[in-house]
Amino acid sequence: MLTLYVKTGCPFCAKVLNTGKELGIEFEEKNIADDAVATELVARGGKRQVPYLVDSEHGVEMYESGDIIAYLRAQYPKH
């Protein structure tokens, strides 16, 4: 399961979501507008920065849209 922490209106989040759509990937989206989700994000990654990807299947968690996009393209190429 891929979880993506996002914030409404975040252009970097939109880039990752668009790449996911292009590759046929579905994310469980968690919006940090919800204070509980923001607290959960800080507990996981140490900072309140989005986008933040959690790939529980592969034990990968990361910030930075460019890194996330490169990871998705390598790990989940479109079939």
The CATH fold of domain 2-75: Glutaredoxin (3.40.30)
Q: Token pair 């140490």 is at which residue?
A: 46
**CA distance linking residue 46 with residue 59, whole number of Å:** 17
pLDDT along the chain (79 residues), means of 10: 96 98 96 98 97 97 98 90
The CA-to-CA distance between both ends of the chain, in Å, stands at: 18
Alpha helices by DSSP H, listed for the chain, are 11-23, 35-45, 65-75
Q: What is the model's pLDDT at position 12?
A: 98
Query: How is the chain split into domains, by residue range?
Result: 2-75
Q: How confident is the model at residue 79, as a pLDDT?
A: 58
Residue 1's pLDDT is 87
Kindly report the pTM of this predicted structure: 0.95
- Reduce the DSSP state of residue 5 to 3 states and report it: strand
Q: What is the DSSP letter of 58?
A: T
